[in-house]
Amino acid sequence: MDAKDVWAAMRQLTGRDWHQAGVEGVDAHILNAHYANISIDHQYTPPSHKLSATHCADFESLTEWHVFIIFDTLHPTFTGLDQLPAWFLRLGVPLFTSPLTHLFNLTVALSFVPYQWKQAYICPVS
């Protein structure tokens, strides 16, 4: 079957043919098989997996102590997008340390940073 016959059968099946084409034995299954056959890329190779920071031999996961020190040494005027003041974060750091350490290590292991962590609020000083 050549391309002309395929298009004639397509017009006939979709009802867009003004005159009946003399294409015998062509139905939707044959057309599906034809398009499936021509739409396969035999040279396709799947992309390689994204290398993660954990593939490095010298990678050490973040410890709860590191997270504690980061929060404990926040600048007094620091506030995040949630407007929580630094003094509140320093008071709650014993509760925040374990879950945040897990989240930080998980983002490195999966090579994925949540969208919310990529946002910033910039307040110009005049």
What mean pLDDT is reported for the chain?
Answer: 77
21 domain-assigned: yes
Same domain, 114 and 57: yes
Q: So what's the pLDDT on residue 101?
A: 92
Same domain, 60 and 105: yes
Q: What is the 3-state secondary structure (H, E, C) of 59-96?
A: CCCCCHHHHHHHHHCCCCCCECCCCCEHHHHHHHHHHH
Which tens digit of pLDDT belongs to each residue from 59-106?
A: 678 899 998 888 888 888 877 777 888 888 888 888 889 998 998 888
109 domain-assigned: yes
Is residue 43 pLDDT above 70, yes or no? yes
48 domain-assigned: no
- Domain of residue 65 covers 53-118
Which tens digit of pLDDT belongs to each residue from 49-61?
A: 665 555 555 567 8
